[in-house]
Amino acid sequence: MTRISIVAFCLFGLLAACGTEKESAGNAALFEKDNLVAWCVVPFDSTERTPEERAQMLHELGFSKFAYDWRLKHLDSFTEEVNALKKNGIEMSSVWFWINGEPGKVIDDVNERILGMIRDNNIKTELWVSFNNSYFEGLDDEGKLDKAVSAVRYIRDRAQELGCTVALYNHGDWFGEPGNQVKIIEKLGTGDVSIVYNFHHARHQVERFPELLQMMMPYLSTINLNGMRPDGPMILPLGQGDLELGMLKTLKASGYDGAIGILGHVEDADVRVILDGNLQGLKSLLGEMGETEALATY
């Protein structure tokens, strides 16, 4: 085990031990199955399920929430996706909103198309916003912050017109750093923008997780889980890493009560197999944590 791993385990254990008494009754259901969100599903399915087949698969696995990831070829069937999810009692709780931008514009034609589809289908959801690092090319940190605040404010306002909300998604680079996301939210000063934190994009932050969690806590809406080893790989099934058990204990002890994301993020695989493997891994971890009430919901 690396020195970083040892330090991280100590930090996770200490915070978990100190936080147990402070644990909020509000997060008693944190790991229960109806608090789980299926994520990275649509583009990561070797079987290329139809929207109806995908919704049925999610229902059979017991998911009631679904975060919609996409590639251009999938957008033509968005309305079909919405209807299939409704038929199977699944909420489209979030929609991926990747910003490349165009000269003179905050968002591009694809982003406009997504906003139009959300409007036309009367979806009330959360936009998971992240930026291509080229969006901030040539700017110093202050310039990046100013541009990000202006862009997020614009996207937030457009989302609010549709009855939707915005969450900042850590996908790497400058915008993916939690400290920068907190600065953006605080400079906005409105308290209506949240954060999605992804374990798989945060392997370089494992030793700082307790500190970063504390920083993000006022704004966190979702945490997407992954098996965690400091030296990778980026995508690892839950329960096969060295650190995710300690991170989950720290998360529970912190009082966090937002959603928990389960990944299907594996190329060239049947996404049902990947999602189910991560569900089984989470169940094993919850058993080690003594989360008997949560386990009873699986």
- Phi first, then psi: what are they for 17, rounded to 5°? -65, -40
Residue 226 lies in a domain: yes
5: confidence class by pLDDT, cuts 50, 70, 90: very low
20: confidence class by pLDDT, cuts 50, 70, 90: very low
Residue 114 lies in a domain: yes
Residue 13 lies in a domain: no
Q: What is the mean pLDDT of the chain?
A: 92
104: confidence class by pLDDT, cuts 50, 70, 90: confident
Mean pLDDT, residues 10-37 taken together: 66
Give 202-232 pLDDT, tens digit per residue: 988 999 999 999 999 999 999 999 999 988 8
Residue 287 lies in a domain: yes
Total domains in the chain come to: 1
Domain that holds residue 180: 32-295
Residue 211 lies in a domain: yes
- The C-alpha torsion from 51 through 57 and 60 to 62, rounded to 10°, is -80
- Indicate if the pLDDT at residue 18 is higher than 60: no
31: confidence class by pLDDT, cuts 50, 70, 90: very high
Residue 81 lies in a domain: yes
Nearest-angstrom CA–CA distance, 5 and 206: 8
Give 239-296 pLDDT, tens digit per residue: 999 999 999 999 999 999 999 999 999 999 999 999 999 999 999 999 999 999 999 9
Closest CA to 266 of 43, 49, 36: 43
Token representation of residue 136? 């901030």
- Indicate if the pLDDT at residue 9 is higher than 50: no
Amino acid 231: pLDDT: 85
Amino acid 38: pLDDT: 98
Of 8-22, 112-126, 203-217, where does mean pLDDT reach its minimum?
Answer: 8-22
| CATH number assigned to the domain comprising residue 271 | 3.20.20.150
- Indicate if the pLDDT at residue 116 is higher than 90: yes
Residue 79 lies in a domain: yes
Residue 238 lies in a domain: yes
Amino acid 153: pLDDT: 98
7: confidence class by pLDDT, cuts 50, 70, 90: very low
Give 162-206 pLDDT, tens digit per residue: 999 999 999 989 999 999 999 999 999 999 999 999 999 998 899
Amino acid 101: pLDDT: 82
Amino acid 209: pLDDT: 96
pLDDT above 90: percentage of residues in the chain: 88
93: confidence class by pLDDT, cuts 50, 70, 90: very high
- Indicate if the pLDDT at residue 22 is higher than 90: no
Of 21-25, 37-41, 146-150, 285-289, where does mean pLDDT reach its minimum?
Answer: 21-25
Of 20-24, 104-108, 130-134, where does mean pLDDT reach its minimum?
Answer: 20-24
